[in-house]
Amino acid sequence: MSDLVEKATRFRTILDAARKTAVADFDWYPYDSLSSVHHLMTLLGDAHQYVLEAGKRKGILDLGCGDGDLAFFFESQGYAVTGTDYSASNQNCMRGLRALRQELRSRIAIREFDADNEFPLDSQYGVTLCMGLLYHLKNPFFVLERVARVSQYCFLSTRVARNLPGGGSINRHPLAYLLGEDELNHDDTNYWIFSEPGLRRLLERARWEILGFFTTGDTKASDTSSLDHDERAFCLLKSHYAGQHLDLQKGWHAVEDSGWRWTERQFTARALSHSDLKYSRLAMRFYVPPILIEAFGKITLSARLDGGEVQPLVVSEPGIHTFMRKIPKPSATASVDFHLDNAVDPNADDSRELGIIVASLEFT
């Protein structure tokens, strides 16, 4: 990984040569996408190198890929890559992407769709690249939620701002500014500029954990509309949708649309182990359906954390509850085995054994 930035610099020469030999009666995407590799490596540092390992295992999704510079680069490094964009908003109606694919004899998969209105992808990816796309979306919440469903990690960059046009700080509040159609760079595909707190709130509400975050550019006086006061946020994210950040073992049913999951009477989860991470606490938010309390009066949730018994939780009311316990010893392979004393047996209406509905489960 240490020389990935240097490799990206060398690959730029290959892309330039391919552009010169391609038959092109269109304008190429004018921005240097490969320069963002430096920012990606800054986000990864020494602590999160496992993220690219996930990309090796499950592939990379380049969402809003432009002419595909990043997609072709990561393919050259041995990754399986899917590049997506939308002709109506792409610089050259995706002709640049397809021309480079042919010149480079690439095998990247190309998918075209309008992410604001549909998200037809159901494959699972290790990493998604969402670079410079968010403020071009009408519906960023929708897209971020959909990406969280299909990708374990995400690199994201977008424009952020500290001030409104003409003054007025938004830097302390979770806000977004809606641009006029020609207010920023005379580009009517620019929509939402978030404050940093607004971007962080959006990511968290869309089921992402922020592993890394920094901003570049004018980090003191950026505003929503000026080209001279541009600030960009770069984020490394981990999806928490449907427990993708965990190794879910026995006892879990298929995910619901909300990202929550029904369990069976017994269910097990492990943290995705990384040698440099130590876990000392577990927190689980879950919903107890009224049918359980009506049938049994109460339920007892027991657990073994890394093989050691912890204090059980007795619940006598339906609704949202929290199970929070310390892990007996700091562990790099935290695991938990849950047991409910009561559950709803399979019946004519539902063939599943039903315990509780888990909203979130975190090892920290």
Do 189 and 302 belong to one domain? no
pLDDT at 257: 86
Do 77 and 117 belong to one domain? yes
The domain boundary residue, chosen from 226, 241, 256: 241
Residues 349 and 268 sit within 8 Å (Cβ to Cβ): no
pTM (predicted TM-score): 0.90
Cα gap 193→72, rounded to integer Å: 29
**Residue among 336, 343, 329 nearest 361 (CA):** 336
Cα gap 357→352, rounded to integer Å: 13
CA 71 to chain CA centroid, Å, is 17
Do 324 and 282 belong to one domain? yes
Do 136 and 217 belong to one domain? yes
Do 271 and 153 belong to one domain? no
Do 252 and 319 belong to one domain? yes
CA angle 22, 27, 32 (to 5 degrees): 90
The total of structural domains in the chain comes to 2
Cα gap 181→208, rounded to integer Å: 30
Do 29 and 65 belong to one domain? yes
Q: Which residues of 239-273 are buried (b: 16+ CB within 10 A; e: fewer)?
A: bbbbbbbbebeebbbebeeebbbbbbbebbbbbbe
Do 119 and 44 belong to one domain? yes
Counting as low any pLDDT under 70, the low residues of the chain are: 1-2, 274-276
The token pair at 157 is: 């960059």
What residue numbers bound the domain in which 228 lies? 4-241
Residue matched to tokens 């730029």: 12
- Which CATH number belongs to the domain containing residue 299 in this structure? 2.60.120.260
Q: Give the SS3 label for residue 180.
A: coil
Q: What pLDDT, in 10s, does the model give residues 214-261? A: 999 999 999 999 999 999 999 999 999 999 899 999 999 999 988 999
- Which CATH number belongs to the domain containing residue 222 in this structure? 3.40.50.150
pLDDT at 322: 97
pLDDT at 334: 87
pLDDT at 167: 85
The domain boundary residue, chosen from 220, 241, 262: 241
The token pair at 83 is: 């590049």
The domain boundary residue, chosen from 193, 220, 241: 241
